[in-house]
Amino acid sequence: MGFREDFAWGTATSSYQIEGAVKGEGKGEHIWDVYTKEPGHVFEDHTGETACDHYHRYPEDVKIMKEMGLKAYRFSIDWTRVLPDGYGRVNEKGIAFYNALIDELLDNGIEPYITLYHWELPYEIYKQGGWMNPKIVEWFGEYAKLVAERFSDRVTHYFTVNEPQCFVGLGFLRGEHAPGLKSPLRDTFEMAHNVMKAHGQAVRMLRQYGRQPLVIGYAPTCGMVYPETEKPEDIEAARQAMFALQPDNSNWTWNVSWWSDPVLLGHYPEEGLKRYEPYLPKITEEDMKLISEPIDVYGQNIYNGRCVRMGADGKPEDVKRYAGFPKTAINWPVTPEVLYWGPKFLYERYQKPIYITENGISCHDVISLDGKVHDPNRMDFLARYLHELKRAASEIDLRGYFQWSLMDNFEWAEGYAQRFGLVYVDFRNQQRILKDSAYWYRDVIRENGNNL
């Protein structure tokens, strides 16, 4: 028992975080291009203008992936690199770039997994209302059709939208990510509904225009929940808490069921329909049919979670973390149990094969005097998390794991201050150095996780 023979051991990245080349290649502007130009939005006013210069250095990066023995690589397409306005005119240079990357991956025996939307909302569409404009459903579909037509002869795995919780919540509700808005709740529920419709439309287009049968999934995120003990009542408490709504409306998007029940089960959670009633847009049967267009696999980005137990009142209660609880450089708690309980609860509820589409840690990595990058904290973190995942792999249909991230990159509002990579990037000169963890991960892949 353990990981299946064809388990997809991979790493993940996203376009704006690594590509660079934002000018001169026919790319249009998206909300992050615009947002990062204004001082005060990102740590020390960093931008993704050059990032890891992956656009020019992808052959070297694929070579590194091969050295690490990766079986799979999850990357995203920048919508505005292929459709500068989000619809209409196609930028052939952008298509050529992704074609070259895909070919390089395949030549090196690495399976490409494409994410359609990792937050690059075309500025042209944003000006027309962005996710508030119902036309975005068609526009996103047009983009998915183009991707299917141009890439699906070679790429069979797709994820539609990445972390809607974050791009709606941080971008439009809390104002911490592009475009930096604090919109009324009513608007954010409308956007969320359109995001899910756009997801459904993309699924339809990928199926219709795919040049072969495709494997299509969704890649949401959220904090997971795990039980304090394995007593049935604590497990039940964790299960309930995992799919519950946020107590606080000002952070409502941080939730699993509102985003996944419609897509996988075809309906919004009852409790939410009641609680959010004053803020909801018109929801039709036809909408729900589109949103729940069947998908093949379920992707989930998992970083950490809360521990709960069943309280004396029969309701889940949080278990307080002890003083000095382990945390990462970005201050996230280290909670390996989420890689067992998270996929397990998700599989139970949604009955779809699961991919962990992201999981990883930021550390204070430095180049040591010996010229290497030693990152014992990352190896320890991954060993603990993957050990839990291995247990899950013996119980549920688990297809793959994408470590976040291949290399250090532009960490949104944190700029380059957070290093999540298995590969160190020296942003002064774009030198790549495999960290100790990259070699450690290579060994895990080689053994198919049997050494965990």
Q: Which of 404, 416, 424, 440 binds ligand GCO (CB under 6 A)?
A: 404
Q: Which of 162, 183, 194, 255 binds ligand GCO (CB under 6 A)?
A: 162
- Contact indicator for 173, 183 with CB cutoff of 8 Å: yes
Please state whether beta strands 111-117 and 72-76 pair in parallel, antiparallel, or not at all (unpaired). Answer: parallel
The number of C-alpha atoms within 13 Å of 443 and in the hemisphere containing its C-beta is: 9
Beta partners for 318? 308
Residue 162 marked ligand-binding: yes
The count of other CB atoms within 10 Å of the CB of residue 225 is 26
Beta partners for 10? 72, 402
Q: Which of 166, 195, 222, 422 binds ligand GCO (CB under 6 A)?
A: 166
120 is catalytic: no
Task: Find the shortest distance in angstroms from Cβ 415 to ligand GCO.
Answer: 11
Q: In the block, which residue shows the tokens 């997801």?
A: 199
Question: Does residue 254 touch ligand GCO according to CB under 6 A?
Answer: no
Task: Find the shortest distance in angstroms from Cβ 425 to ligand GCO.
Answer: 14
- Contact indicator for 387, 443 with CB cutoff of 8 Å: no
Nearer to ligand GCO, 292 or 301 (CB): 301
Question: Does residue 408 touch ligand GCO according to CB under 6 A?
Answer: no
DSSP assignments along 396-448, one per residue: S-EEEEEEE-SB----GGGGGG-B--SEEEETTTTEEEEBHHHHHHHHHHHTT
337 is catalytic: no
Q: Which of 420, 424, 440, 441 binds ligand GCO (CB under 6 A)?
A: 420
Degrees, nearest 5: CA angle 96-216-48: 45
The catalytic position among 163, 190, 293, 388 is: 163
- Contact indicator for 275, 245 with CB cutoff of 8 Å: yes
Nearer to ligand GCO, 87 or 385 (CB): 385
Nearer to ligand GCO, 261 or 358 (CB): 358
Beta partners for 162? 219
Q: Quick one: which segment of 43-51, 103-111, 159-167, 314-322 binds ligand GCO (CB under 6 A)?
A: 159-167
d(CA 217, CA 295): 6
Comparing every residue's Cβ against ligand GCO, the nearest one is 163
In 3D, which of 215, 213, 240, 214 has the Cα closest to residue 226?
Answer: 240
Question: Does residue 253 touch ligand GCO according to CB under 6 A?
Answer: no
- Contact indicator for 446, 452 with CB cutoff of 8 Å: no
How far is CA 23 from its chain centroid?
A: 25
d(CA 361, CA 330): 8
Residue 73 marked ligand-binding: no
The catalytic position among 29, 293, 358, 388 is: 358
What number of chain residues touch ligand GCO (CB under 6 A)? 10
Question: Does residue 358 touch ligand GCO according to CB under 6 A?
Answer: yes
d(CA 351, CA 177): 33
What's the one-letter identity of residue 137?
V
Task: Find the shortest distance in angstroms from Cβ 323 to ligand GCO.
Answer: 25
Beta partners for 426? 431
Task: Find the shortest distance in angstroms from Cβ 2 to ligand GCO.
Answer: 26
| Interaction pattern, residues 289-318, with ligand GCO; x per rule: CB under 6 A | ------------x-----------------
Q: Quick one: which segment of 56-64, 146-154, 161-169, 242-250 binds ligand GCO (CB under 6 A)?
A: 161-169
Residue 440 marked ligand-binding: no
Binding site feature residues for substrate: 17, 118, 162, 303, 404, 411-412
Residues contributing to the site for ligand GCO (CB under 6 A): 14, 17, 162-163, 166, 301, 358, 404, 411, 420
Catalytic residue set: 163, 358
